[in-house]
């Protein structure tokens, strides 16, 4: 099943980032707010690098245009995962 379909079952208003399904890792839930799509920051940045950006440019683009974007209460969230040895 398409990850967007599975996640979309949580709430029909969930917003997805086009072209970044490989970085889609789940749903983020917060008390009193609608669930949102959750993306892996590292994977998103790696996808930007694969598109031809340097790592520094990819990080700048990510922080300004993706993490810094607001599209309402369904704005996607981004996770940075700790290395397993630190958990």
**8 A C-beta contact, residue 73 and residue 35:** no
Looking at residue 11, its pLDDT comes to 82
Confirm whether pTM is higher than 0.85. yes
| Local confidence pLDDT in tens for the 87 residues of the chain | 687 887 778 888 899 999 999 999 999 999 999 999 999 999 999 999 999 999 999 999 999 999 999 999 999 999 999 887 776
How wide is the angle at C-alpha 72 spanned by C-alphas 2 and 41, nearest 5°? 55
Give how far the C-alpha of residue 9 lies from the chain's centroid of Cα atoms, to the nearest Å.
17
């Amino acid at each position: 099943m398409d990850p967007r379909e599975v996640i979309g079952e949580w709430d029909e208003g969930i917003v997805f980032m086009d072209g970044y399904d490989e970085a889609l890792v789940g749903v983020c839930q917060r008390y009193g707010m609608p669930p949102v799509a959750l993306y892996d920051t590292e994977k998103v940045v790696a996808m930007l690098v694969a598109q031809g950006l340097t790592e520094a440019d990819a990080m700048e683009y990510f922080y300004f245009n993706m993490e810094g974007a607001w599209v309402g209460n369904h704005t996607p969230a981004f996770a940075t995962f700790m290395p397993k040895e630190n958990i």
